[in-house]
Structures are given as C-alpha cells and as structure tokens.
Amino acid sequence: MPQSYLTKALSLLLLVVGVSLIGSRAAVSQTVIFEESFDARPAGPYTDAELDEDFGEPRFNNGVTEGRVRVVSGSQAFGGSGSALATFYPAGFHGTRETGAQWPYEFGESYEEATLSYRVRFGTGFDFVRGGKLPGLAGGTAPTGSTQATGFNGWSGRLMWRTDFDGVSGQPQQLTSGGITYAKHTDSGFAGDGRQEDRNFFFNPDGSQTEFVSDQWYQITQRIVMNTPGEFDGIQQIWVDGVLVINEQNIRYRLDDSFAIDQLYFSTFYGGNGDWRTSKDEEAFFDDFVVTIPDGNSDGGPDDGGFDGPVSVPGQFDTLAAALAACSDGDVIELTGEITENVTINKSVVVQGLAGATIVAANDDADTVTIEANDVVLKGLEIEGGRRGVHVEDGSHNVVLEDLFVHGTGNIGILIESDCNDLFLKDSEIRQCDNDGVRILSDHVVLQGNNSHRNRGNGYRLMDTDTATFDSNRAYLNNIHGFRIAGSHFDFTNNVSLNSRLRGYAVEGHGHMLLNNLARGNGSHGFSIDDATDCVLFDDRARFNGGHGFRVETSAGNLIDDLNSTGNAGHGVLLLMCGHNSIVNSFIYQNQRSGVLLNNSTTDNTVSDNVIRSNSEFGIADFGHNTIGSNIVRDNLGD
C-alpha cells in the first residue's frame, strides 16, 4: 500500500476506534454511520449522479448542478493520492447561489450524540476576505439564514472561517483567518433568541486564536451532544488537528424531543453579504468525511476510579465540598438550585451549574469559590457575595471560567493570581463589586464576551502581565476605569467602555495592539496612553467623553491609525512629552478644544493624512518640533 493511502487509512481508523472527549469518563468506541473519501471518483466535474450516490440523493443542492464542484486527485487530495472534492468561489461574488456549494446528507435516523470529522485545505494564495461557511452537523429543519431556531423546529451547527477584516474585498488580501462556531439553536445569536447564529472564536489551549492559512490540510472534528429538552446541558466541542478549540457544555438546542442530530450539512460559500465577496477566483478542498456515534461499549470503564456520570449537588451530595471530597480528577459535578457555602476546588474537575444554579457565600469575609488546581472548568453559575467571588490561586493552569454571574462581593469579583497561565474567562457578567470587577496578575489569559459593570473599582484591571487577549468585552456604568492595562503584548479587539467615572482605557506598557475598540461617554479621557512604547491603535473610537478623546503622555514609537475622535470635551488627540509617535488616516471632529494638540515637550511625532474638522479651538496646534504632513483641516474655530 502506498504511504499516502496508509496515512489516510490510519487517520480514519483512529477516528473509528475512539476519540478522546473532554468530560468523558472513558474512551467510548464509535460506530461509523457515514464515510466518504471520494477515492472511487475519477478526476473531473462532480456530477449530480455522483452526488446522489455519495450523499443519498439530497433534497437540494447548490453548486453541483451549476458546475462549481469537481473531483481532484493525486497531489491535490489529502495524503498525496486518492481523490478529494474541490469547491469553486468565482471572483466578485458571495452567497450560496454564486459561490461554493451546499447540500444535506440525511442519516435516516436521529441520534443524541454524533461526531463529524473532515479535512479542508484552502487553495494557494487564498484570500479569506471577511469569512465563509464550513460544514457541520444539524438536526430537524436545520434552520439557517433568516429562519429562527425556536426550540421546536431544529438547529444547525455549521462553522466558519472568519477574519477581523472590515474593508474593501482584496485591499489588502487576508492571507490568514481565524475560525468561529456558527451554530443556530434556541438561545443563539446576539439577542439570545435563535434568530442569529453564535459566533465564538476558536482558541488554542495557550490562549492564542486558531489560525488558518492557505495550502495546508486541516482536520476539523465536531462533537455534538443534544441537550435534555428545555435544559442547558447540550455540548459542542470542536478540535482542529486534534487540539480542542471550542468546549461549550451549556447549549439548549431544543425545547422538546421531536428532533436530535439527523444530518451532515455540507455548506461552504463566501458571506455574509456583498462586503464579503471574493476578490479573485478561489478554491477549497474537502476530503475524508466521517460521522460516528457512540455504540455504548466502554473500552474498560473509568480511567481513574471516578464516577461514570455527572455527580449531582444536591442529590448524591448535599454540598459542593462533600462532592469534591468524593470525586476524582476528571469528574463532572452538576449543581442545581441554590447552595450556601464557601468552597475550594482542589481537583481537576468540571463544576457546571444547570438552570438557576447559585452559590451564595456562607461567610462574606472569605472567598466564595477558590480554585487551587489545574484543568478546572467552572461554568453556568451565579456566584453571590464573599470577599471575592472567584479566586484563582497562584499556579493554577488551564482554568476555564464560563457563563458566570458574579455579583455583590466585598472586594474583587474575579481575581486571577500570578502564574495562572492559559486561563480562559468567557461570556460572564461581573457587577456591583466593591473593588475591580476582574483583576488579573497572570500571563497568557484570554477574556471573551464578558460584561463588567457598576463596580466601585475598575471594570477590568491587568497588572504587569504579558500576552493577554481581550475580545468583545464590555465595561460600563460607573466603574472607575473601564479597562486599566499595564504589561506587554496585549491584543484588545472589539471591546467597549461606556460611562466609566474616569477613563475608558488606561494603557501602559509595551507592544499592545488595540483594534476596533470604543470609548463613549466616560467621565474623563476615552483612551489614555501613558509610558507606552511600540503599541498600535487601529480603528479605535473615542466619542463624547468628558476629557480628551486620546491622551498620549511620555510615550514613544506608537502608531495611531484610522482613529475616530468625535465630540469629546477636551482635545481630540493630545500628545504630552512624547516622541516618535504617528497619528495618521484619522477622523477628528467636533471636539470642544483642538483637534490635535502637541505640547512644547513633544518632538519628532508625525501628524499626516488626517481629516480634522469643526473643532472648537485649532485644528492642529503644534508647540513642539514635529512633522505635520498633508491633512484636511477645515472649519475649526481657532484656525
């Protein structure tokens, strides 16, 4: 057997024998219910007849009849031989009618759990533009597009490649991309009503985003476990090349049991809307589709003598502390209702709250939940009172905090101590704490989709840490500062700071990237950059703040590009005692003092290619020794 065929065969065999699943008590053997590697197909156009034979006469297809799907062989297939499918995305188009291909494969039965695996390769020089769809599992009517998932009609679990790009297709080309979930279910979308899909980025265990590049094969694996009807206990897990990048365990796919998992949804196209259209002709390649279900036979039982299924509190145990004492590493503890205790999690377990689960501190002078172990997952819980709501102690690695509601603490809401690398805080709300909502002293942390508000301290405070990722977090209503940042190499993207008592973003340190963040209605400056070097601020917006839009002091080597500073009570941009910074390509409008002011201690800064209009003092006031390039400066009262 040639080596390439052996590689493909071994890959499929490993999937069939068993996939190691987070939260499982044992490796469960799998039964294959669908498998297609296209190796029996000759190179050439993929016909409707071949589609019907391979995918069971799907009830519709887009792309095959139109000639956008072909079979490729040899070096273009995974492993260098055999065959694969290639889908075509013509230049200048988007959507299912003009790009890529779509069809369902219906299993003929419904399953409570299933795992899909396939391989994908984006063609040489692939321009990802803004994003596009990838296949996934689905059930019922598989609602997509404008169809709402009501909990009674069905769900869909497609994936996407997705970039942060927001511009004109092809200018510049997007040669790398992240990945996101695109599942539609009862509570998905921005409003949580099932009208839109969830959009959660893939993250590696080290906190970095998964990155797709062209001309490289990736293996995508998606595991779905349906929820108990009406309960928030459904699971979606996604692996890329064997690395777990999504681990959601509180999904409500359905409200009754009229559907489950009954189809593979082959779906790939550019879109979005017209802004997502292809910049040139593109191709992507797909191979080795396998769908398996667990056959219920264990390969030897629990691996460490722990519980075979979830441990219930109350139920099997009256308190969380008692459950932890009896559990082993890897067990799952499910909490229902309300318990009153202060608890220390000292084992590698999953503590998951079901609907309405609450931990109330028995002693408000102690932390409500303390974590002092690696590989802990704490999710789906309301945590009330205590000195600190959640305290992750020094050296606790690989901790996931997800879907928490922490409030009413006597000090910090969530405290992450030093040396807690690879911590992930997601989709949580922290409010009405007597100090900071979230305080972090550790490196390599990821915060995504959190809300921190009405705290007496900062919304989020990072203290002398390195390599943090903040994506789509909000700080609002009466925090001292929305985000107070000190350290190096932070990526801040799509965050919002509203109505803080002082600054929206207080930034110190080195090598930060701030992209597409908003500061609005804060009592002092929108963005305050102090003692910072080699940072990039791109497409950030400061509007209607009580101080300056952007205040930069004793900082050097920073690029401020494509900012929007509008309607602030101070200057649009103020530079104090700074050198070698650049302010370019920005829109500075209707601020109550000057558009840009550089004081007499600023040297060698550049202000170029900006639009500076209708500010109440000067458009540009340079009292130092700086380079003022070509700008559009109009209608400023002091000019």
What CATH number corresponds to the domain at position 129?
2.60.120.200
pLDDT of 21 higher than 60: no
Return d(Cα 490, Cα 462) in angstroms, integer. 10
CATH number assigned to the domain comprising residue 581: 2.160.20.10
Final residue of a structural domain among 417, 435, 454: 454
Helices (H), 132-261: none
Q: Is residue 16 included in any domain, yes or no?
A: yes
Return d(Cα 337, Cα 332) in angstroms, integer. 17
72 and 153 both lie in a single domain = yes
345 and 240 both lie in a single domain = no
Angle, CA of 303, 309 and 312, to the nearest 5°: 130
pLDDT at 35: 95
Q: Is residue 472 included in any domain, yes or no?
A: no
320 and 383 both lie in a single domain = yes
Return d(Cα 468, Cα 445) in angstroms, integer. 5
Closest CA to 470 of 492, 455, 488: 492
pLDDT at 423: 92
426 and 522 both lie in a single domain = no
283 and 341 both lie in a single domain = no
pLDDT of 304 higher than 50: no
Q: What is the mean pLDDT of the chain?
A: 91
273 and 321 both lie in a single domain = no
| pLDDT (average), residues 160-187 | 92
pLDDT at 307: 66
Number of domains in the chain: 3
The tokens for 222 are 């998606």
- What is the SS3 assignment for 7? helix
- What is the SS3 assignment for 195? coil
Return d(Cα 441, Cα 418) in angstroms, integer. 5
Considering the chain, what percentage of its residues have pLDDT values greater than 70? Answer: 93
Q: How far is the CA of 298 from the CAs of 30, 295, 304, in angstroms?
A: 10, 9, 14
Whether omega for the bond prior to residue 229 falls within 30 degrees of 0, making it cis, is no
- State the Rg of the chain over Cα: 27
| pLDDT (average), residues 508-531 | 96
Q: Is residue 463 included in any domain, yes or no?
A: no
pLDDT bin (cut points 50, 70, 90) of residue 11 is: very low
Query: Among all chains, which residue has been given the structure tokens 């590697």?
Result: 37
Q: Which stretches does DSSP call E strand in 494-533?
A: 496-498, 505-510, 513-515, 518-520, 527-533
pLDDT tens column, 215-230: 999 999 999 999 999 9
Q: How far is the CA of 596 from the CAs of 115, 187, 551, 574, 628, in angstroms?
A: 56, 45, 10, 6, 11
Closest CA to 293 of 226, 348, 385: 226
pLDDT bin (cut points 50, 70, 90) of residue 624 is: very high
| pLDDT (average), residues 497-522 | 96
Residue 94: count other Cβ atoms within 10 Å of its Cβ: 23
Q: Residues 271, 135: contact at Cβ < 8 Å? A: no
pLDDT of 301 higher than 80: no
pLDDT of 22 higher than 50: no
- What is the SS3 assignment for 53? helix
The tokens for 265 are 């949804």
Q: Is residue 460 included in any domain, yes or no?
A: no
Q: How far is the CA of 222 from the CAs of 275, 293, 311, in angstroms?
A: 29, 12, 25
pLDDT of 148 higher than 60: yes
Return d(Cα 51, Cα 59) in angstroms, integer. 11
400 and 251 both lie in a single domain = no
pLDDT at 138: 97
pLDDT at 146: 84
**Biggest CA pair distance of the chain:** 81
What's the burial of 274, exposed, middle or buried (CB within 10 Å: 0-12/13-18/19+)?
Answer: exposed
Return d(Cα 522, Cα 404) in angstroms, integer. 26
Q: Is residue 240 included in any domain, yes or no?
A: yes
414 and 552 both lie in a single domain = no
pLDDT bin (cut points 50, 70, 90) of residue 28 is: low
Final residue of a structural domain among 297, 327, 356: 297
Q: Residues 30, 115: contact at Cβ < 8 Å? A: yes
Q: Is residue 15 included in any domain, yes or no?
A: yes
pLDDT bin (cut points 50, 70, 90) of residue 214 is: very high
Q: Is residue 289 included in any domain, yes or no?
A: yes
262 and 321 both lie in a single domain = no
**Could you give the count of Cα atoms lying within 13 Å of 353 in the half-sphere of its Cβ?**
19
Considering the chain, what percentage of its residues have pLDDT values greater than 90? Answer: 82
pLDDT at 49: 96
pLDDT bin (cut points 50, 70, 90) of residue 59 is: very high
User: What are the b/e assignments for 592-618, b being 16+ CB within 10 Å?
Assistant: ebbbbbbeeebeebebeebbbbebebb
Query: Among all chains, which residue has been given the structure tokens 């053997």?
Result: 29
The tokens for 406 are 């922490």
Closest CA to 545 of 572, 563, 512, 514: 572
pLDDT tens column, 408-437: 999 999 999 998 888 999 999 999 999 999
pLDDT at 19: 40
417 and 513 both lie in a single domain = no
Q: Residues 38, 84: contact at Cβ < 8 Å? A: yes
pTM of the shown model = 0.58
pLDDT at 150: 95
In terms of residue numbers, what domain contains 522?
481-639
276 and 208 both lie in a single domain = yes
535 and 436 both lie in a single domain = no
- What is the SS3 assignment for 264? strand
Q: Is residue 548 included in any domain, yes or no?
A: yes
